[in-house]
């Protein structure tokens, strides 16, 4: 990879990722409809969240209690 291209990717990584995600979501919306595209996006977000928690070696009991516990 050229030094110029790697420099552009480093400085604008978030913008590039945002554009790619928007393109994928728009293609899903056009192909399958808005509700199905939102459902797929929700599944991806939940999968990411669970994967992130696994990587961080989260205590699942504490997380469960935090989400569903008695929060008076």
Residue 24 confidence (pLDDT): 92
On whether the CB atoms of residues 63 and 53 are closer than 8 A, the answer is: yes
Q: Tokens 């030094």 correspond to what residue? A: 3
**Number of domains the chain contains:** 1
DSSP 56: T
pLDDT digits (tens, 9 = 90+) for 20-65: 999 999 999 999 999 999 999 999 999 898 888 888 887 878 777 7
On whether the CB atoms of residues 28 and 37 are closer than 8 A, the answer is: yes
User: pLDDT at residue 71 above 70?
Assistant: no
Q: What is the mean pLDDT of residues 5-15?
A: 85
* Phi/psi of residue 49, nearest 5 degrees: -60, -45
- Domain encompassing residue 55: 3-68
């Amino acid at each position: 990879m050229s030094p110029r291209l790697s420099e552009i990717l480093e400085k604008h990584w978030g913008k590039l990722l945002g554009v790619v995600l928007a393109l994928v979501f728009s293609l899903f919306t056009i192909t399958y409809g808005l509700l199905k595209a939102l459902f797929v996006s929700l599944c991806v977000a939940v999968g990411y969240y669970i994967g992130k928690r696994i990587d961080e070696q989260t205590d699942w009991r504490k997380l469960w209690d935090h989400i569903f516990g008695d929060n008076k």
